[in-house]
């Protein structure tokens, strides 16, 4: 599937035409963005992976097998070989401010999943929020909403 993700990105992320293509591309993009935060502290924790899986199931109504496969394949991808920018561009092009807020909230959930917030995780979320054009006030609102849970 690793090869299929790369192929998918090359052929479809640039030109997402149909609703099904867009939905699949957004699933891949969201998974990659969420995994980026889990990698930020150089430790991918099981609680973080569980939180990512829950976010993908909740957001995209995916079954357990689809989520597990998506996460496993995304984890195999070497971050040096795949830039986060095409994923962020796709989200910017096809997501509403409310959907972007939900992604930022999920990023905070991933960061807090292991019971502690690492400074690199917070930095990565801030960077992603900036690249998604999420205002600082919404960045903070998402953080506070997740902390209150």
**When comparing pLDDT for 46 and 128, which is higher?**
128
Q: Render pLDDT for 21-71 as a digit per residue (tens, 0 to 9).
A: 777 778 888 998 999 999 888 888 889 999 999 999 999 989 999 998 888
**When comparing pLDDT for 149 and 11, which is higher?**
149
Domain parsing of the chain, residue ranges: 2-147
Q: If you average pLDDT over every residue of the chain, what do you get?
A: 83
Reported pTM: 0.81
- Rounded to a whole number of angstroms, the distance between the first and last alpha carbons of the chain is 35
- CB under 8 Å to 91, separation ≥6 — which residues? 26, 29, 30, 33, 99, 100, 103, 132
**pLDDT reading at 78 higher than 50:** no
Q: Which two tokens stand for residue 102?
A: 């939900």
Sign of CA dihedral 23, 29, 35, 41: negative
Predicted pLDDT of residue 81: 45
Q: What is the CA radius of gyration of the chain?
A: 14
Superfamily grouping for domain 2-147? TerB-like (1.10.3680.10)
């Amino acid at each position: 599937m690793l090869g299929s993700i790369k192929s998918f990105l090359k052929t479809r992320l640039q030109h997402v035409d149909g609703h099904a293509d867009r939905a699949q591309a957004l699933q891949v993009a969201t998974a990659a963005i969420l995994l980026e935060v889990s990698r930020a502290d150089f430790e991918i924790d099981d609680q973080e992976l569980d939180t990512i899986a829950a976010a993908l199931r909740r957001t995209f109504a995916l079954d357990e097998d689809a989520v597990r496969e998506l996460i496993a394949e995304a984890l195999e991808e070497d971050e040096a070989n795949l830039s986060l920018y095409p994923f962020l561009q796709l989200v910017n092009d096809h997501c509403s401010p409310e959907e972007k807020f939900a992604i930022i909230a999920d990023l905070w959930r991933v960061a807090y999943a292991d019971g502690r917030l690492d400074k690199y995780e917070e930095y990565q979320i801030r960077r992603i929020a900036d690249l998604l054009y999420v205002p600082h006030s919404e960045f903070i609102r998402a953080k506070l909403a997740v902390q209150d849970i």
